[in-house]
Amino acid sequence: MSLLEIADLKVAFPGPTGPVNAVNGVSLRIESGQTLAILGESGSGKSVTAQAVTGILDVPPATVSGSVQLRGRELLTLSRKQRERVSGEEIGMVFQDAMAALNPVFTVGHQIVEVLRVRRGMSRADARRRAVELVDRVRIPAAKDRMRDYPHQFSGGMRQRIMIALAIALEPDLLIADEPTTALDVTVQAQVMELLAEIQRDSGMGLLLITHDLGVVAEVADDVAVMYAGRIVERGTVEQIFAGPAHPYTEGLLNSMPRVDRRDEQLYAIPGAPPNPARLPAGCPFHLRCPRATDECRVVLPPLLALPADRASACHHHEEVLDATRR
Amino acid sequence: MPPGDEVVLRVENLVKHFPVKGRVPFTSGGVVKAVDGVSFDLRRGETLGVVGESGCGKSTLARMLVGLEQPTSGAVRFGTSVVHQARGRELRALRRRIQIVLQDPYTSLNPRRTIREILLQPFEIHPDVLDRRRRIERIKELLDLVGLDPGLHLDRYPHQFSGGQRQRIGIARALALSPDVIVCDEPVSALDVSVQAQVVNLLERLQEELGVAYVFIAHDLSVVRHISDRVAVMYLGKLVETGPEVSLYESPRHPYTRALLSAVPVPDPAGRQGRQRILLAGDPPSPVDPPSGCRFRTRCWQAADTCATTEPPLAAGAHPVACHFPLAA
Ligand SMILES: Nc1ncnc2c1ncn2[C@@H]1O[C@H](COP(=O)(O)OP(=O)(O)OP(=O)(O)O)[C@@H](O)[C@H]1O
Ligand SMILES: Nc1ncnc2c1ncn2[C@@H]1O[C@H](COP(=O)(O)OP(=O)(O)O)[C@@H](O)[C@H]1O
Ligand code: SF4
Ligand code: SF4
Ligand SMILES: [Mg+2]
Ligand SMILES: [Mg+2]
C-alpha cells in the first residue's frame, strides 16, 4: 500500500464562460521516505492538486472527483470534520508565502503550542518545551528567546523555517510543500531544502514537492511528475526525466533553462504561452507549441501511457522523443 | 556587434543612504546604506550582469543609473554629461539615451492605455526625435522587432496580453528612442521558464542588431551567466567582485561569490551526490548597521582579525575582488 495514491483526480471551478478545468485526471503515488516533485509552469494545476489532497479547497464552488487515498483510506468521501483531522495530523503543509500561513497577531511560540495542545492534548509546559525543540530543529538561533516574537519580526527565510516547524509539529506521514523556496534567495533556498531533506531522513516522511524550478527538482526529487494544462504529461524517476525525457514539453523545458555550470550559446524557447484552462485546445493540449505535432495531435488527446522501466508519457510520438533525447 | 572598448556609462563611487523613519524609535537618525560606494564602467554593446541577495541594493542602483533616484554622493557619467546634474535639454537627451525595463510587466504599463498610446508616449515626451507623421510607422517596426504582430496588437490593452508579451511591450517602449543603455531590473523573474527563454533570446538578438548595452540585474545566477559578458557581485551595498563571465563563474575569488554559486541548484541529478555545497549561515546583516571592516565577515568561513578592522578595497584589474584573502584562481 502506498503512502499516498491519487487516481483520476479532477477539479473544476465555475468560470464566466463555463467550467475552468484546473485538474483534468491526475494519477500519482508517493511512498514513505520518498520525494515526488510535481513540476510545471504557472497555472498548470499544481497547487489545486495539492489543495484537493489536503482538503482545503472549498467544495462548492469547486467540484472534485476521483480518488485520494492516504495509506489506503479514501479521503474524498470523508466528512468535513474527519477530513480536517486527517489533514491536520497526518499531512503537513508548507506554502510559498509563510506570511499568509502564519497568524500575524499571535506569537510564533503561541501558534506552535496551540497546535500541540489542541491536537496532541499536551500540557502547556510540555507543549512549550516541544515547541522550543521544534524551532531549534529548524535552526532558528536562540529558539527559546524567539518564541515570543511575531511572524513579522523574522526574515523571509526564517519565517519559511518556522512554517516548516509548524508543519512537522504533529509528525505527519506526508509533507506537501508548495513552492517552499520560490520567494527565497538561493542561499536561503539551499538552507531550507537541506533542512527538509534532513527531516525526511530522520522521520521517513513522504514529501510532495511542488515547484517550477528544474534545478531544485534535480537536486532533491526521487520521482518527477510533469504537469501541463491540468494533466500529468510525463512521469518517471528523476534520472529518467533528466537523462532523456519522453515528452516534448519536458524536452522543451530542459532545453530552455540556462545553467550555472556552463554557458550555452542559445536557449531553446518553447513558442507561445501555456493555454488558458477555460479554453483548452482540441487534441493534445501542447500541440500549438509543439515542434513534433502532427495531424493526429491536433485531434486526438494522447492518454498517459505506461512505458517500459515504469515511466509514462502522454505523447503520441513518445518513441520518437525518446530516441531523440536519450543520451 | 561584439562589445567595443568605448565606455558608454561610467559609474563613480555611487552612494545612496535612505534615512530611517521612526518605525523603531531607537533607530531614528540612522540610515539604510542601500548602495555604498559602487563604481564600474559599462562599454558600448556589452552586458554587465549584477547579482546579489535580496535587499543588497540592486534596484536602488538601477534607479540611480537612469536618474529616477538622486544619489547621496558619487556620479553617473554618460559622455560629457553627469546624469544627476543635467538640466533642461541635456537632461532630456540623457533620458532618451538611458532606458529601464522593470520586473513586473503587470504594473509597469498603464492599464488604461492601448499599446499604440503606450508606444507613442516616448515620442510625445521627445517630439524632436521623430516627425509626427513617421511615428506610427516606427512603433509598428518596434512591435515587429520584439516579435508582436502590429496588425493584431496595436489597439489592445495591456491586460489582453500574457506576461511574456507584456514584457516584450516594455522592451519595445524602452527601445523606442534608440537608447545606448538599457537597465533591466529583474526583467524575466516574473516569467515562466518557457517564456523566460523567449525574452532572454529577444534581448540578445536586439543587442546584436542594435548595439545597445545592458545592465542586467537578476537574482537568478544561471540567467545572468547566460546573458552577461561581465558580472558584478553585490553584497550589502558594495561590489565584492567583478569579472568576465567565464572567469567569475569558473574561478570565483571572493568567498561570497563562491558560496552564492555553490547554492545554485544544477539541473543534473547524476552529479548531486558528490556536489560540494557551501551553506552560508543566516541572512545578510542589516544595511542600517553593516559589520565593520569586511561586510561579509559575519558569514565568512575564513574571516581573520584584519577582516574586522580593515575594509578590503575592490582592487583594479580585469577580475577585481574585495577580499584580504582571495581564493586561489
Ligand atoms: N479558486 C479558484 N477559482 C477559479 N479558478 C481557479 C481557482 N484556483 C485556481 N484556479 C485556476 O486553476 C488553474 C490552476 O491553478 P493552480 O494555482 O493550481 O496553478 P499552479 O500551477 O500552481 O500555478 P502557480 O504556479 O501560478 O501557482 C489556474 O488557471 C487558476 O487560475
Ligand atoms: N525608499 C526607501 N527607504 C528606506 N529604505 C529603502 C528604500 N528603498 C530601498 N531601501 C532599502 O535599501 C536596501 C536595498 O534595497 P533594494 O535596492 O530595493 O534591494 P534589491 O533590489 O536588491 O532587493 C534594502 O535594505 C531596502 O529595504
Ligand atoms: S502528442 Fe503531439 S502535440 Fe502532443 S506532445 Fe506529443 S508530439 Fe507534441
Ligand atoms: S576580507 Fe576576510 S571576511 Fe571578507 S571575504 Fe575576505 S576573508 Fe572573508
Ligand atoms: Mg501554485
Ligand atoms: Mg529589487
Per-position b or e across A277-297, b if 16+ CB within 10 A of its CB: beeeeebbbbbebbebbeeeb
Residue B118, pLDDT score: 93
* A189 close to B (CB below 8 A): yes
Residue A264: how many other CB atoms lie within 10 Å: 12
- Put simply, whether B274 touches A (Cβ < 8 Å) is no
> Which chain B residues contact residue A191 at CB under 8 A?
279-280
A221 near B CB under 8 A: yes
User: Which pTM does this prediction carry?
Assistant: 0.85
Contact A135, A185 (CB under 8 A): no
pLDDT per position as a tens digit, B32-64: 899 999 999 999 999 999 999 888 999 999 999
Q: How much distance in Å is there from the Cα of A95 to the middle of ligand 5? A: 9
Is pLDDT above 60 for A241? Answer: yes
The bound ligand whose nearest atom lies closest to the alpha carbon of B51 is: 2
What is the number of the ligand closest to the CA of B189?
Answer: 6
Residues 19-38 (A) with a CB less than 8 A from some CB of B: none
- Please tell me the distance from the alpha carbon of residue A255 to that of residue B294, in angstroms, as a whole number: 40
- A218 pLDDT higher than 60: yes
C-beta neighbour count of B21 within 10 angstroms: 9
Tell me the C-alpha distance between A256 and A181, whole Å. Answer: 21
Whether B8 shows a pLDDT value over 90: the answer reads: yes
pLDDT at position B97, please?
A: 92
Pairwise pLDDT comparison (A82 vs B231), residue with the higher score = B231
d(CA A70, CA B102) in angstroms, rounded, equals 45
| Integer Cα distance of B245 and B227 in angstroms | 9
Mutate to test the interface with A, among B51, B148, B192 (most CBs of A within 10 A): B192
Average pLDDT, whole number, for chain A? 90
Report the percentage of chain B scoring pLDDT > 70. 95
Give one DSSP letter per residue of A13-29, joined into a string.
Answer: EEETTEEEEEEEEEEEE
**pLDDT tens digits, B257-266:** 999 999 999 8
pLDDT surpasses 60 at A222 = yes
Q: How far apart are CA A85 and CA A81, in angstroms?
A: 6
Encode pLDDT of B141-193 as tens digits: 888 888 888 887 888 888 888 777 888 899 899 988 889 999 999 888 877 88
- Neighboring chain B residues of A270 at a CB cutoff of 8 Å: 194, 197-198
Say if ligand 2 is within 6 A of residue B58 CB: yes
Closest CA to A228 of A245, A253, A258, A209: A253
Report which bound ligand comes closest to the CA of A230. 1
Q: How confident is the model at residue B309 (pLDDT cuts 50, 70, 90)?
A: very high
Residue nearest to atom 6 of ligand 1 (CA): A13
Is pLDDT of B206 > 80? yes
Statement: residue B248 has pLDDT above 90: yes
SS3 B239: strand
Return phi, psi of residue B19, to 5°: -65, 140
For ion ligand 5, residues whose CB falls within 5 Å = A 47
Q: What is the pLDDT of residue A35?
A: 96
In the predicted model, is pLDDT for residue B296 greater than 70? yes
In this structure, the residue with its CA closest to atom 20 of ligand 1 is A43
* Mean pLDDT across A134-140: 85
Tell me the pLDDT band of A295, cut-offs 50, 70 and 90: very high
Distance CA B67, CA B181 (A): 13
Asked whether B175 lines ligand 2 (CB < 6 A), one says no
Amino acid letter, A287: H
- In angstroms, the CA A62 to CA A15 distance is 10
pLDDT of residue B128: 83
Q: Dig out the grid coordinates for B76 from the structure.
A: 553617473
For A41, B66, B180, B184, B209, the CA distances from B224, given in Å and listed in that order, are 21, 20, 20, 11, 20
Kindly tell me if the per-residue pLDDT of B283 is higher than 80: no
Domain B7-309 CATH class label: alpha beta
Average pLDDT, chain B: 89
Which of B226, B261, B267 lies at the smallest CB-CB distance from A218? B267
Confidence of residue B246 (pLDDT cuts 50, 70, 90): very high
Question: Greater confidence, A265 or B2?
Answer: A265
The interface pTM score, or ipTM, of the predicted complex is 0.85
pLDDT band for position A36 (50/70/90)?
A: very high
Q: How far is A264 from chain B (nearest CA, A)?
A: 7
Interval A235-245 mean pLDDT: 95
**Residues of chain A with C-beta less than 8 angstroms from the C-beta of B162:** 273
Indicate the pLDDT class of residue B106, thresholds 50, 70 and 90.
low
Q: Which of A182-186, B120-124, B266-270 has the highest mean pLDDT?
A: B120-124
Name every protein residue with a CB atom under 6 angstroms from any ligand 4 atom: B 255, 294, 296-297, 300, 302-303, 307, 312, 323-325
**Residue (of A324, A241, A227, A245) closest to A285 by Cα position:** A227
CA distance A174 to A168: 9
Q: Which amino acid is at B118?
A: I
Partners of A153 on chain B (C-beta within 8 Å) are: none
The pLDDT score that the predictor gives to residue B3 is 67
pLDDT of the residue at B24:
55
